[in-house]
Amino acid sequence: MYTVVTVLIIIVCVLLILVVLVQNSKGGGLASGFAGSNQVMGVKKTSDFIEKLTWGLALTLVVLCLVASFSLPNKDARTAGSSIQEQIDNASSAPQKTPAQQPAQQPVQNQPAQPAQPAPAKK
């Protein structure tokens, strides 16, 4: 569900960008190019349509964002992250020994080195 809503949000965003680029803040956007031609809709109606489309797409985007936030899978339902995250979780849950808890290492006793045995004589 979340993936479908995310794809819809992307589509609405692209459409909203295109509709905003068609408009001109001073009324000279794409709608002004139709002033000289005969059309069913006049310039005023075209700009009204584009403005209503902009508001509709903006409202749709807000609603889709709210739906996406409610359809987010909860933390328990999500699959476990990467194996690295699992290792970090396992390492942090294992009790760590402090130096006081570790057994003391016994010092190595100094033993006199044994003299090297002479090599056998060659005949």
> Which pLDDT band, with edges at 50, 70 and 90, does 115 fall under?
low
CA distance 37 to 40: 10
CA distance 119 to 123: 12
User: Do residues 80 and 86 make contact, with C-beta atoms less than 8 angstroms apart?
Assistant: yes
pLDDT for res 50? 87
> Which pLDDT band, with edges at 50, 70 and 90, does 94 fall under?
low
Answer whether residue 100 shows pLDDT above 90. Answer: no
What would the pLDDT profile of 33-76 be if each residue is shown by its tens digit? Answer: 555 554 555 556 777 888 899 999 999 999 999 999 888 876 66
Phi, psi at residue 71, to the nearest 5°? -95, 5
CA distance 31 to 24: 9
Instruction: Rank 7-21, 81-95, 98-112 by mean pLDDT and report only the highest.
Output: 7-21
pTM value > 0.85: no
For residue 107, what are its two tokens?
């010092």
Nearest partner of 43 among 35, 51, 54, 53, judged by Cα: 35
CA distance 10 to 18: 13
User: Do residues 39 and 77 make contact, with C-beta atoms less than 8 angstroms apart?
Assistant: no
What would the pLDDT profile of 5-38 be if each residue is shown by its tens digit? Answer: 999 999 999 999 999 888 876 655 555 555 555 4
